[in-house]
Structure 1
Amino acid sequence: MTSRRGFTSRSAALAARAKAVEDVRRGDVRATRDTFGEFWAKVLEAKRPYVTAGTLQDYTTHGRKRLLPWFGALKLAAVDEDRIRDWLAQMAELVADGELSAKTVNNARTCLSMTMGEAVRRRYIPQNPCRWVPELPVERTEIDYLRMGEIDRYLDACADFYRPLAEFLVGTGARISEALGVRWQDVDLEAGVVRISRQRARDGDGTAPTKGKRFRSVQVGPQLAATLRGVREERTTSGLDDGDWIFLCPPPRRGRYSVRTEPVPPSRKTAHDWHEWALQDAGLRDMPLHSLRHTAATAWLATGHPLIFVQRQLGHRSITTTEEHYGHLETSFMREAAARTEALIAAGGDRRAA
């Protein structure tokens, strides 16, 4: 009643107010005294049983860093389109300054929209104010990965305690968290299959369900199977009780691992350090450890495997995701397709002539 707030005139605002009052009167919208911060805490608690620990941590981080400082003290109904646009404009400035990525801001916006959507479902507000506030544009960058001629250089530069893990990442396309969560009971070396259903937790030594809580079986080649078989035989010979973990920290010695009393997998940070050292020793360009997952996918496509195989190996929920990342690299159905088509047409013409 005191400002436009997106309305074109005073009469339009009066009409919207009258409709909102009528919605409340009919029970279509229930009044709540919750602030955004209070409601945010309720939504996170409701989500807890249905999402992985990593996803819940991501939600919590976005709320603490990017949502609660702006909206936490506001009444839920006060979080409207104008305020969300103001928030997004400030986030865009941080992106321009290089302090945040557009993808990070869009993920935070998704959390905000999820919360307001839940408020709509509970009939605390009539509509989701995020609906008319589009995401920031994201510039897609070409993914980097080890080319076929670079894979051996990289593996040869790996430290002895890291090489089996590196071969596993390149051979299976597993995420580092998934690889560190694999145990011997998950591997069938005779069948060449690794079952991936758990991942190492971000904090602590435990495991959690994989991203999306999905189970998958990954086919591995004979060379990787031989590497894993060699690791297991070496453990048996040395009498080391590895706790059923496949990949372990180096043997305890003075320094970083000296306080360790039992064999445990390395932390994600440690594996990232090993990867960086291997790249430097091999004289290769810098790339994240996750690039080994891309390396696996591109190697499968380069050797003629179809996208559906890559999707199942990587555990993507939809082949659309695989297509978005790697579709431009697939050649299995395109290689010599034009020549084969022409040959079939020519053969058909020869039969008619005969």
Structure 2
Amino acid sequence: MAKVRVRPETRTLYLDFQYRGVRCREQTALPDTPGNRRTVEALAKRIDRELLKGTFDYAALFPDSPRAKAGIGEDAANDHVTPTFSEFTELWVAESTPRWRAHYGRAIRDTLDRIILPVLGPKPLASIDRGDLLGFQAELAKRPGRGGQAISAKRINKLMSLVKAILNEGCDRHGLTSPARSLKTLKQKRSDVMPFSMAEVELLIGRVREDYRPYLTVRLLTGLRTGEVDGLQWQDIDFAAGIIRVERTHSRNGDGGTKNEGSRREVPMVPQVRAALEQQRKGAITACPWVFHSPHGNPIDAVNFANRVWYPLLRHLGLRKRPPYQMRHTAATLMLAAGENPEWVASILGHSTTEMLFRVYSRFIPNLTRSDGRAFAGLVNGHFGAAAAEATSTPGTPGADILCALQSLTPGQLSTLLALAKKAS
């Protein structure tokens, strides 16, 4: 980052910045006054912008500078020896591994070896510029994705974020300006949220093959993530307390901890979930720790379940195709539609805040974001109803006092009153 400094002996301003790993100082004849400082600060911001974009031309901006005449823009990168992207990546991985879950580390290693290092690995950090990154991003877009389709923008952004993390750290350590910081992410398609209705939930549970009925019941009515429900062990089920403890996950990459510390939680069992787990326990295999398992005692394989059970079930029922993860979205929308406190729902789903709930699910829950004006009408009526009733009712009219009292009630108070009256009758 370019900084504006003052020469103590002359009290004139000069620019101090890093370019190609070299510290550069460019003098001015301007005395340190507020107006001159604003002028030089504007120049410093321009230098920062051009460095980030990779368009900085030393000779064009400082044509009389000895550094420009020495060709710093052309040869300084060769004078500043830096490790290759591959060499620094090995250091970065070694330092990061203690923070990663085992299966996440394996996935990162596989991504680096198959996709990133074959292209960027041989390049020295100082030689990688914005053009190299844009070219690599363009090559990613040409790679085939799942089912022969083009790789998604979301996947490209994930790969580029890994490149950016490594390059930013490497450049910072070697006094370079990282070209990755000016690279924008691709616009992603918004993830589809397609929860099932309560009628569809009943249909799914009622029509799935019997050995998978408890599994679907738990997923549809608890909101557990795929890895969390597949990683459930009998020691996590507390029938006495009526709770499920989420302590681990399972996937094809192996067993691991939860997504984050907030994902470790206790999920209460509704009666249908308790009954499903009790039914599952009757068929448990001796010495098998997994709640949901294959006939051979292995944990449920998520891909096998999706292809052999889930998608055939949706086709059979004539329901729109959607991934199994929509069962988690279904549980969330049902809880919110039932009027549960959003903070409670967030904790049950393993979220630290309610931000995601309102961002993802609000459009599916009419009562969560009421837009028909009735809530506002109730508030206004609660405050002004009594005054309006007094102004419009005739003194001495039979029942005027009762009408006035009823008009002053909010919709919630009125509902409570009607419920009490019904119970009394």
| TM superposition score normalised by structure 2 | 0.68
What SS does the corresponding residue of 2:267 show, helix, strand or coil? strand
Higher Cα radius of gyration:
2
Give 1:246 deviation, angstroms: 0.8
Question: What's the counterpart of residue 209 of structure 1?
Answer: 257
Question: Residues 16 and 322 (structure 1 numbering): CA distance in 2 closer, same or farther, change over 3 Å?
Answer: farther
Choose which of 259, 264, 276 in structure 1 pairs with 2:298: 264
Give 1:40 deviation, angstroms: 1.4
Question: Residues 319 and 51 (structure 1 numbering): CA distance in 2 closer, same or farther, change over 3 Å?
Answer: farther
Question: What's the counterpart of residue 339 of structure 2?
Answer: 304
Choose which of 228, 238, 250 in structure 2 pairs with 1:188: 238
User: Which residue identity lines up with residue 345 of structure 1 in the other structure?
Assistant: H
> RMSD of the TM alignment (CA)?
3.2
Choose which of 104, 120, 124 in structure 2 pairs with 1:75: 124
Higher relative contact order structure (alpha carbons within 8 Å, sequence separation ≥ 6)? 1
Structure 2 distance, partners of 1:339, 1:191, is 43
The size of the alignment, in residue pairs, is 326
Structure 1 distance, partners of 2:387, 2:178, is 62
Structure 1 distance, partners of 2:235, 2:66, is 62
What SS does the corresponding residue of 1:162 show, helix, strand or coil? helix
Give 1:322 deviation, angstroms: 3.0
Per-residue CA deviations over 1:305-335 (Å, capped at 9, x if unaligned) read 2332232121124432333322333444544
Is the Cα contact below 8 Å between 1:307 and 1:327 reproduced in 2? no
What SS does the corresponding residue of 1:138 show, helix, strand or coil? coil
Structure 2 distance, partners of 1:37, 1:234, is 51
Is the Cα contact below 8 Å between 1:95 and 1:101 reproduced in 2? no
Choose which of 272, 275, 282 in structure 2 pairs with 1:226: 275
Give 1:234 deviation, angstroms: 4.5
Find out whether 1:66 has 2:101 as its counterpart: no
Between Structure 1 and Structure 2, the one with more strand by share is 2
Give 1:11 deviation, angstroms: 3.3
Question: What's the counterpart of residue 346 of structure 1?
Answer: 384
Segments of structure 1 that go 5 or more residues without pairing to the other structure are 22-29, 251-259
Question: Residues 129 and 306 (structure 1 numbering): CA distance in 2 closer, same or farther, change over 3 Å?
Answer: farther
Per-residue CA deviations over 1:22-77 (Å, capped at 9, x if unaligned) read xxxxxxxx965421112112212221111223432342343234322321110112
Find out whether 1:99 has 2:133 as its counterpart: no
Question: What's the counterpart of residue 337 of structure 1?
Answer: 375
Question: Residues 331 and 191 (structure 1 numbering): CA distance in 2 closer, same or farther, change over 3 Å?
Answer: farther
User: Which residue identity lines up with residue 286 of structure 2 in the other structure?
Assistant: D
Segments of structure 2 that go 5 or more residues without pairing to the other structure are 1-18, 20-52, 73-78, 392-403, 405-425
Is the Cα contact below 8 Å between 1:161 and 1:249 reproduced in 2? no
30-39 or 149-158, larger mean C-alpha shift? 30-39
Choose which of 160, 166, 177 in structure 1 pairs with 2:227: 177
Is the Cα contact below 8 Å between 1:62 and 1:111 reproduced in 2? no
Find out whether 1:90 has 2:139 as its counterpart: yes
Question: Residues 265 and 142 (structure 1 numbering): CA distance in 2 closer, same or farther, change over 3 Å?
Answer: closer
Give 1:219 deviation, angstroms: 2.0
Question: What's the counterpart of residue 174 of structure 2?
Answer: 124
Question: What's the counterpart of residue 257 of structure 1?
Answer: none
